[in-house]
Amino acid sequence: MAKLSGGEFKVCRLQDAPTRELETLDTAQSVVNYLRPMLPQSIAYRPDTENLIVVHLNTRKKPIGWEVVSNGTLDTLLVHPREVFKSAIIANAAAIVVCHNHPSGDATPSEADIKVTRDLMRAGQLMKIELIDHIVLGESVNGKKDFSSLRELGYFYA
């Protein structure tokens, strides 16, 4: 245990921590439902800039943890497979879901988002850690979904 600014913290795997029954994260909507309530409580998440979040999954696609890997600027985020997969290896994850937010609120993926997704897919294949999806978080406008799934949009290939 370590003390930090009057608070006490313990680092442990998510399944070792007292939590609610963990749901299976097998759809983009289930991942968004899992992450949305926790992001505002994170000391690393900054909603006014782009943030890269990695959700770690076990073989049954149940979450074993998540991490804000990188904070960017208003419209740019530096992503490297080394940082994305580092925490997945430490957590012994079988698969990951990558998410990032667009501060503009528009969840439409950019060409850079598509390229990064394909790079991460190749890196994951080498390490046998499956990239399940890449989700772009935005805001709901006129009843439109507040996120985009690159898998649902057809950017994942076999």
Q: Could you report the per-residue pLDDT of 130-144, keeping only the tens digit for each? A: 999 999 999 866 667
Rg (CA), the chain: 15
79: which residues sit within 8 A by CB, 6+ positions away?
52, 69, 70, 116, 120
Residue 151's pLDDT is 95
The fold adopted by the segment(s) 23-149 is Cytidine Deaminase; domain 2 (3.40.140)
CB hemisphere CA count around 22 (13 angstroms): 19
- Cα–Cα distance, 100 to 113 (Å, whole number): 9
Residue 69's pLDDT is 94
Q: Contact, 135 vs 155, CB < 8 A?
A: no
Q: Could you report the per-residue pLDDT of 28-86, keeping only the tens digit for each? A: 999 999 999 999 989 999 999 999 999 999 999 999 999 999 999 988 899 999 999 99
Q: Residues 115, 48, 116, CA angle at the centre, nearest 5°?
A: 10
Weakest-pLDDT range from 4-8, 69-73, 127-131, 148-152: 4-8
Other CB atoms within a 10 A radius of the CB of residue 131 amount to 26
Q: Contact, 66 vs 53, CB < 8 A?
A: yes
Q: Give the residue from 142, 150, 135 showing the smallest Cα distance to 31.
A: 135
Q: Contact, 116 vs 136, CB < 8 A?
A: no
Q: Could you report the per-residue pLDDT of 6-15, keeping only the tens digit for each? A: 455 555 554 4
Longest dimension (CA), the chain: 50
Q: Which residue has the higher pLDDT, 155 or 18?
A: 155
Domain boundaries along the sequence of the chain: 23-149
